[in-house]
Amino acid sequence: MTRSLDFGAAFYPEHWPESEWPRDIALMRAAGVTVARLGEFAWSTLEPDEGRYDFAWLDRALDLLAAAGIVSVLGTPTAAPPAWLTQRYPDTLATVDAQGHRDAHGARCHYCVNSPLYHEKSAAIAGAMAEHFGKRPDVIGWQIDNEYNRVCYCATCRAKFQSFVQARFGDLATVNRRWATAYWSQTYQSWDQIAPPAHAVSNPGLVLAWREFVTESYRLFQHEQVTAIRAHVAPEVWITHNFMKWFDAFDHYEMSAELDLASWDWYEPSGWTDRIPSGAMHDLVRGYKRRNFWLMETQPGHVNWSRTNIDLQPGQARAWAWHAIGHGADAVLYWQWRMALNGQEQMHGSLVDQAGEPRPFYAEAQAVGGELAQAREALAGTRVQARVAVLYDFPSRWLIDNQRHHGDFDYVEHLLRAYRALAGRNFTVDVISPDVDLAGYGVVIAPALALFTPERVARLTQFAQHGHLVLGPRTGSRDSAAALWPERPPAGLHALAGCEVEEYIALAEPVRIEGDVSGQADVWAERLKVRAPEAQVLARYSAGNAWLAGQPAIVRRDTTGGSVTTLGGQFDTPTLEIALAPLLALAGIAPVLETPPGVEALRRVGEEGQDVVIVINHTATPQTIPAPAGRVDELTGAATTGALTLGAFGVAVLSAA
Ligand code: GAL
């Protein structure tokens, strides 16, 4: 049977004497834990010296877990190279900046992602672990490394970067032309003159190529471990990596291509008050592979790595877990089960404390574990289905961050404005790459999609024949080498959009817009020029910025079966709600439920079309909403009647009765 709604924690038996393990595992069982994640930092215990493996302790821990009915996910330990390795092979240590400073042993992720020796050692430990543990039926999945994050600038990386640029562009004349290197005498005469970007603002072509190179470096590093593991495990055993929140050092879509499952680690060190960014992050991770994902780590109360590490409020863990599941998570795992007595993370939250006693959070987790068990069957095989997509693009983010033009123009914040206008009203949203098939969507929004390729232009053009396309500001200005397209944005789409951008303005003050859509732009505004007589100006800028006054701010042009709406400004969410409402209506897209702002309604749909609606009160105040008719709450067994009341951080999981 397909697994459904797994629940668990990261468990580090190597931190504790074996005599402690049975008690930990008994508490796991009592909390409803179905899965433990182990091994991802245990290199010095798994391979105490070069080539000498000790897997027996991990077998014993896995045996105890399996006997308690708990399956396991094994991490390869390559985020924590042991002292013998970095001492014997200092070249495996990363060079942490373009000025050449080398990392020191003593933390984690201190490796050079391109070191041939580190590749060899990593593939060897991954392969040895897979050979040893790969046939165990209780090991259902593997995680490669842990939160890739270090970028290295050593001589090896630099040489590989030069080869990467050569393979990408073929000859130096092409590099010089496409990066416009005559500007500031950047002209390259030989490949070895090309160095990683080292300045606050570097040549955009160089910046883009470097990020693509970092992506390719991690992809190859990951690929070697994936290959080493696949050789030994059954086809249904999956391989994942746990990505971080809004992390942008590499392209996560590319990194996910070879993985079977996407997963991520969700933390909110300053407390959690806004469901929109976390909802968008869940949706983005679901978009990495366009299927359900795992929440591989989340916060058991508080973290330890922020300046002030605020706890979740009592009860909030429940809303948190269902929020992830409603957005497509098939598992929720806390980090961590029990903290080590020493080490950098002594102060982190956990379910069990140094004495082996349940902490107060344990009871919260136990309640969540119980609820997941109750809803497990109803949610088996279900997934999120959206007819609205927001396009999230790593290269566009890199290019904008390299030249924000207005310091407050933040790619993620900008995207969240559109996302909030939808998800804030319980529209189900996909957050996906601009390079995937858009068939099936009714509305597609491209916020700040700076990078246009001919393929992207073709895909968006095709979509707009039957769907409603919305182009945000800064869209369609750069090519695949980060050069400006030698025409006005949105390059390649003027005819379709019926307009072009004639100027962009960093706004000192917000400006109002008036027309069919009234509202406000801040930070960024573009003065649009209408190019097609049939295009409609939906809004014009009012007085406030002399360059903008009276000029088109929103233009829409209808196609045979769809439309293109060009948004000239960074609008606030209420303005975007007004702009998007008619498009959603035309596409026949409705929200899951209408709820007050603190209440979220999400839907997962099964293969037979049966759906489960998850309603979450994200506030500490009870909320009452009109109950959807003909439903039964999987958590209480109660049938819905006229009103549905949710207590503080309360949840209802509603199946068809
Ligand atoms: C994550 C990491 C875990 C743990 C956790 C603490 O970023 O993957 O190993 O350190 O943070 O919050």
CA of 147 to the centre of ligand 1 (A): 8
303 lines ligand 1 (CB under 6 A): yes
Report how far ligand 1's centroid is from the alpha carbon of 431 (Å). Answer: 25
pLDDT along the chain (657 residues), means of 10: 90 98 98 98 98 98 98 98 96 91 90 97 98 98 97 96 98 98 97 94 96 98 98 97 98 98 96 92 98 98 96 96 98 98 96 98 98 98 98 98 97 98 98 98 98 98 98 98 98 97 97 98 98 98 92 98 98 98 98 96 96 97 94 96 95 96
Does the C-beta of 267 come closer than 6 Å to ligand 1? yes
| Burial of 585 from C-beta contacts in 10 A (0-12 / 13-18 / 19+) | exposed
Residues composing the chain? 657
d(CA 591, CA 584): 10
> In terms of C-beta density within 10 A (0-12 exposed, 13-18 middle, 19 or more buried), how is residue 307 classed?
exposed
Catalytic residues: 147, 297
Please choose, from the candidates 520, 476, 523, 525, the residue with its C-alpha nearest in 3D space to the C-alpha of residue 497: 476
Distance (Å) from CA 516 to ligand 1 centroid: 48
Q: Could you give the dihedral angle defined by the CA atoms of residues 74, 75, 77 and 79, in that order, rounded to the nearest 10 degrees? A: -170
Q: What is the pLDDT of residue 182?
A: 98
Our answer on whether the CB atom of 619 is closer than 6 Å to any ligand 1 atom is no
Q: Could you give the dihedral angle defined by the CA atoms of residues 477, 502, 459 and 462, in that order, rounded to the nearest 10 degrees? A: -170
How many angstroms separate the alpha carbon of residue 357 from the centre of ligand 1? 22
Q: Is the CB of 265 under 6 A from ligand 1?
A: yes
State the Cα–Cα distance between residues 151 and 101, nearest whole angstrom.
Answer: 12
CA distance 462 to 55: 54
Asked if 311 contacts 349 with a C-beta cutoff of 8 angstroms, the reply is yes
> Counting Cβ atoms within 10 Å, is residue 200 exposed (0-12), middle (13-18) or buried (19+)?
exposed
The finding on whether 266 has its CB within 6 A of some atom of ligand 1 is: no
Burial class (CB in 10 A: 0-12, 13-18, 19+), 139: buried
- Rg, the chain, Cα only: 26
Burial (CB count within 10 angstroms: exposed 0-12, middle 13-18, buried 19+), residue 406:
middle
The pLDDT of residue 106: 87
pLDDT of residue 272: 76
Pocket test for ligand 1, best of 11, 265, 346, 350 (most atoms within 8 A of CB): 265
One DSSP character per residue, 568-614 reads -EEE-HHHHHHHHHHHHHHTT---S----TTEEEEEEE-TTS-EEEE
Cα separations in angstroms, 618 against 118, 318, 430: 45, 10, 21
Angle between helices 116-133 and 204-230 (to 10 degrees): 30
For 213, the 3-state DSSP assignment is helix
How far does Cα 631 stand from its chain's mean position? Answer: 32
In short, whether 147's Cβ falls inside 6 Å of ligand 1 is yes
Residue 334 CB less than 6 A away from ligand 1:
no
Ligand 1 atom with the smallest distance to the CA of 146 is: 8
How far is ligand 1, taken at its centre, from the CA of residue 371, in Å?
Answer: 25
DSSP 82-144: -HHHHHH-GGGBPB-STT-PBP-SSSS--B-TT-HHHHHHHHHHHHHHHHHHTT-TTEEEEE-
CA distance 507 to 504: 9
Mutate to test the pocket of ligand 1, among 270, 335, 336 (most ligand atoms within 8 A of CB): 335
Nearest Cα to Cα of residue 513 among 571, 461, 591, 454: 571
Q: How far is the CA of 424 from the centre of ligand 1 (A)?
A: 29
Sign of CA dihedral 627, 628, 634, 637: positive
Residue nearest ligand 1's atom 5 by CA: 335
Q: Whose CA is nearest to atom 4 of ligand 1?
A: 335
Contact 429, 423 (CB under 8 A): yes
- Quick check: 34 and 70 in contact, CB under 8 A? yes
Substitution candidate for ligand 1 out of 296, 337, 345, 346 with most atoms within 8 A of CB: 345
Q: Looking at this protein, which amino acid is placed at residue 366? A: Q
Residue 136 Cα to ligand 1 midpoint, Å, equals: 27
What is the number of the ligand 1 atom nearest to the C-alpha of 147? 8
Ligand 1 atom at minimum distance from 242 CA: 8
Structure tokens belonging to residue 157: 């990386």
Q: Could you identify the atom of ligand 1 that is nearest to the CA of residue 40?
A: 9
Residue minimizing CA distance to atom 6 of ligand 1: 303
Which phi and psi angles does 189 have, rounded to 5°? -105, -20
22 is written with which tokens? 């049975």
- Dist CA 270 CA 291 (whole Å): 30
Whether ligand 1 lies within 6 angstroms of the CB of 321 is answered as no
Supply the DSSP string of 460-506, one letter for each residue. HHHHHTTSEEEEPTTTT-B-TTSPBPSS-SSTT-HHHHTEEEEEEEE
Q: Is the CB of 146 under 6 A from ligand 1?
A: yes
The protein residue whose alpha carbon is closest to atom 12 in ligand 1 is 303
- Give the per-residue pLDDT at 2: 76
C-alpha of 16 from chain center: 33
Give residue 490 CA to ligand 1 midpoint distance, Å.
41
Q: How far is the CA of 264 from the centre of ligand 1 (A)?
A: 11
Residues whose CB falls within 8 Å of the CB of residue 419, separated by 6 or more in sequence, listed in order: 276, 279, 280, 283, 390, 429, 431
Q: Is the CB of 364 under 6 A from ligand 1?
A: no
Residue nearest to atom 3 of ligand 1 (CA): 335
